[in-house]
Amino acid sequence: MTSAPSAAASPQVIDCDVVIIGGGPAGSTAAALLAERGYQVTLLEKARHPRFHIGESLLPANLPLLERLGVADQVKAIGMEKWGAEFESPWHDHKQTFEFADALDKTMPMAYQVRRAEFDEILIRNAADKGARVIEGCQAKHVTLGEHGEPTQVVARHDDGSEQTLRAKFLLDASGRDTFVGNHLNAKQRNKKHNSTALYAHFTGAQRNDGKAAGNITIFWFEHGWFWFIPLADGATSVGAVTWPYYLKRRNGRALDEFLQDTIDLCPPLRQRLQHATLASPVEATGNFSYRCDHTHGSNYLLLGDAYAFIDPVFSSGVMLAMQSAFVGADTVDTCLSNPKRARHAMRAFDRSMRLGPKTFSWFIYRVTNPTMRNMFMAPRNIFRIKDALLSVLAGDVFGDTPIRSRLLLFKGIYYTASLINLKRTVSAWKRRKTNIQVVDSNDAQTN
């Protein structure tokens, strides 16, 4: 492992080609790719790896990216094989399983469930091994975005309180939900079309599926939202409830572990799978998940992954979108620095790519608790291979050449037709969702 130099040994000012804020999947991936191309890269990470992070479920579309980074074998060693995704609904009498091998592209039949502490450390050490200067325990505090060819300057503070200035030709914001540049520019906006909160923890002794399906992620719908159930390789299981904001407000001062258990009790199939399980981590909560910045880039900076937008984790798209943005972002930086005449074209391509993923997933996310959508998920039909195209989305295959567009349009047409046929139910569900996504005061929600 490559460790960062101590603050005392670091120069007061660091000059580099690219400074990256955030050492999660987006920042570490971009750092490795740019360092490989010979750029001087400095990555700032406010924590020290390994550190806990939620979002343990990868998608099949992650695997080619891991291969290109050269870390596929390391991730395989820590991962739980994930061959499919399951959905359980209290409004249906069966469980629906989707296997990734049935997607249109047969080359990505599986993914992994991973502890993010281990996964993220693999990625950040890989960046250091490839030549990026990685500084952990160092948080970006202020930024002055360069204009007219002037360098961007980032002031960062080390764990010991000392400060350091970094000057760079280009800035990549991979700060995740901290949205460092978005906050600096007042560009971060609440997503008015969606809003949710999350309550989560790890358990041991949870009941898993047998055989090949042991690592499948299970999504359980319930009255106030949905649960995730993610088996990990070391025997632990990640369990989380993603709920409408009003529900977390009902905590009313109760301990988080008690409130999570009460919430699990509202979902009998999940309660059964956890009947012999033991809580193995502190319960954590977070509020107001959904946001988007009003732009993806500036003349000399890019927003990667969650630093640009986050909607909802129901389709486990977060890590894949973060890493995909890093690959496109690295190409964009390379073009801007090596061939400035092509910079505008590269930026436009980056913008299209950044908006494509959230746009594709958000259409489903906004409707995933709608009765019509639930029925279509729980009884999928494969006319014109619509189900296979839906599986391609669930696998994260939205950026390549797989011909999913026309089939997804047909899926949407069927959805809207069914919604019109059941107009009274549709209007009722729309009104209920409009109420459910209303903002709740963060103090009332008691997420701390």
Residue 75 lies in a domain: no
pLDDT band of residue 287 (cuts 50, 70, 90) is confident
Residues with Cβ within 8 Å of 307's Cβ and at least 6 positions away in sequence, in order, are 21, 22, 26, 173, 174, 175, 176, 178, 179, 180, 181, 182, 293
pLDDT tens for residues 43-70?
999 999 999 999 999 999 999 999 999 9
Residue 59 lies in a domain: yes
The residue among 285, 292, 275, 361 whose CA lies nearest residue 320 is 361
- Identify the pLDDT of residue 306: 96
- 184 plus 65 within the same structural domain: yes
- 210 plus 275 within the same structural domain: yes
- 126 plus 242 within the same structural domain: no
- 125 plus 260 within the same structural domain: no
Tokens of 448: 């701390």
pLDDT tens for residues 25-44?
999 999 999 999 999 999 99
Q: What is the CATH number of the domain that holds 419?
A: 3.30.9.100
**Residue where one domain finishes, among candidates 322, 343, 360:** 360
- Identify the pLDDT of residue 108: 94
Mean pLDDT for all residues in the chain? 94
Residue 2 lies in a domain: no
Element of type H or E holding 55: none
Instruction: Indicate if the alpha-carbon torsion angle 191, 197, 201, 205 is positive or negative.
Output: negative
- 243 plus 135 within the same structural domain: no
Range of the domain at 442: 81-112+196-287+367-448
Residue 160 lies in a domain: yes
Instruction: Give the total number of structural domains in the chain.
Output: 2
**Residue where one domain finishes, among candidates 342, 360, 378:** 360
- 269 plus 298 within the same structural domain: no
Angle, vertex CA 332, rays to CA 192 and CA 353, nearest 5: 35
Query: What's the rounded Cα separation, in Å, for the pair 209 and 203?
Result: 16
Distance from the Cα of residue 245 to its chain's centroid: 20
- 252 plus 280 within the same structural domain: yes
For 181-199, what is the mean pLDDT?
94
Tokens of 129: 């091994």
Tokens of 171: 């800035």
For 378-396, what is the mean pLDDT?
93
Instruction: Give 150's DSSP letter.
Output: P
**Residue where one domain finishes, among candidates 360, 389, 409:** 360
Query: Cα dist. 177→170, 261, 333 in Å?
Result: 21, 27, 22
Helices (H), ranges, 143-232: 180-184
- Identify the pLDDT of residue 361: 95
pLDDT tens for residues 91-123?
999 999 999 999 999 999 999 999 999 999 999
Residue 129 burial by Cβ neighbours in a 10 Å radius (0-12, 13-18, 19+): middle
Tokens of 309: 């937008």
- 64 plus 135 within the same structural domain: yes
Query: What's the rounded Cα separation, in Å, for the pair 296 and 286?
Result: 25
- 208 plus 99 within the same structural domain: yes
Q: What is the CATH number of the domain that holds 162?
A: 3.50.50.60
CB neighbours of residue 164 within 10 Å? 19
For the whole model, what pTM was predicted?
0.94
Do residues 47 and 21 lie in contact, with contact meaning Cβ atoms separated by under 8 Å?
Answer: no
Residue 119 lies in a domain: yes
pLDDT band of residue 147 (cuts 50, 70, 90) is confident
- 52 plus 120 within the same structural domain: yes
For 378-407, what is the mean pLDDT?
94
The amino acid occupying position 247 is: Y
Query: What's the rounded Cα separation, in Å, for the pair 203 and 201?
Result: 7
Residue 76 lies in a domain: no
The amino acid occupying position 154 is: V
> Is residue 241 scored above 90 in pLDDT?
yes
Q: Name the CA radius of gyration of the chain, rounded.
A: 22
> Is residue 380 scored above 50 in pLDDT?
yes
For 139-154, what is the mean pLDDT?
91
Residue 74 lies in a domain: no
Share of the chain above pLDDT 90, in %: 90
Query: What's the rounded Cα separation, in Å, for the pair 48 and 145?
Result: 26
- 170 plus 238 within the same structural domain: no
> Is residue 148 scored above 80 in pLDDT?
no
Residues with Cβ within 8 Å of 417's Cβ and at least 6 positions away in sequence, in order, are none
Residue 64 lies in a domain: yes
pLDDT band of residue 439 (cuts 50, 70, 90) is confident
- 17 plus 163 within the same structural domain: yes
